[in-house]
Amino acid sequence: MKKIAIIIAGGVGARMGQDIPKQFLTIQDKPVIIHTLEAFEKHPDIDHIIVACLAGWHDILKSYAKQFNISKLSSIVNGGEDGQASIKAGLDEAKRLYSGEDIVLIHDGNRPIVSDEIISDNIATCTNYGNAITVIPCTEVILQTDDHQVSSGLLDRDKLVRTQTPQAFYLDDILSAHAEAAEKKLPRTAASCALYEMLGRKLFFSNGSEKNLKLTTPDDIDIFEALLNIKRKTWLK
């Protein structure tokens, strides 16, 4: 049974305020997408990597992959019109190349500091229970609002978790979820866990981390660079 990482890198990164997509921004001498790919390249249980990439950036990604020795990259496909379409494009490519009984780990291309431990726990949970959603506890007070100006209620944070990626599934199972969602004309979502939830399918949790940061705004870049500096200092000790 193979484990295939499907990296979603089809967004334009409008909230980052840059001229190039956020996944191709260079941080400490490497594009963000390469930081992400290296995490899966170095993990011993990952066999192959598929990237759903923004159209027009395939050759650039291939060049970076060669430069940084990303040998597990097996395929690059066009991302779709939204997150759900990009995930489906990656899944369809995985089905073309591999077995429906293989495990796929769907991961954000702009979540570049995912650890070996997070990937390992995601795989183990999926192997044992059929799927795995990386989560962290909800530690903040969560207020509900109807208009984003005034509160309308308080949610019980002890019953909440915050989702991250990777999110792991058996390939045939997640493809069947996409097919069922299309047949039922469910609202589109960029999160595979949301798709499962809308279909009434049970989800199982694996352990995430606050350090498993998604780069969405310029502030996130500052935090990412600080985490990289800490990581480098640890290596040098």
The pLDDT assigned to 125 comes to 98
Average pLDDT of the chain, as a whole number: 92
Average pLDDT of the residues in 4-30: 80
Q: Is residue 16 part of a domain?
A: yes
Q: Is residue 7 part of a domain?
A: yes
| Residue range(s) defining the domain that contains residue 57 | 3-135+162-236
Question: Using CB atoms within 10 A of its CB, is residue 56 exposed (0-12), middle (13-18) or buried (19+)?
Answer: exposed
The pLDDT assigned to 190 comes to 82
Q: Is residue 147 part of a domain?
A: no
Average pLDDT of the residues in 6-22: 72
| Backbone CA torsion sign across 203, 181, 185, 80 | positive
Lowest mean pLDDT of 84-93, 176-185, 217-226, name the range: 217-226
Please spell the DSSP secondary structure of 203-228, one letter per residue.
--EEE--TTS----SHHHHHHHHHHH
Q: State the residue for tokens 């598929």.
A: 50
Q: Is residue 105 part of a domain?
A: yes
Confidence label for 18 from pLDDT (cuts 50, 70 and 90): low
Q: Is residue 145 part of a domain?
A: no
Q: Is residue 84 part of a domain?
A: yes
Average pLDDT of the residues in 185-194: 90
pTM: 0.93
Q: State the residue for tokens 């004309």.
A: 185
Q: Is residue 95 part of a domain?
A: yes
For residues 115 and 184, what is the distance between their CA atoms, to the nearest angstrom? 36
Tokens of 100: 């429906």
CATH label of the domain that carries residue 94? 3.90.550.10
Q: Structurally, how many domains does the chain consist of? A: 1
Q: Is residue 140 part of a domain?
A: no
Report the amino acid identity of residue 17: G
What is the per-residue pLDDT across 135-169, written as a single tens digit (0 to 9) for each? 999 999 999 999 889 999 999 999 999 999 999 99
What is the per-residue pLDDT across 36-92, written as a single tens digit (0 to 9) for each? 999 999 999 999 999 999 999 999 999 999 999 999 999 999 998 899 999 999 999
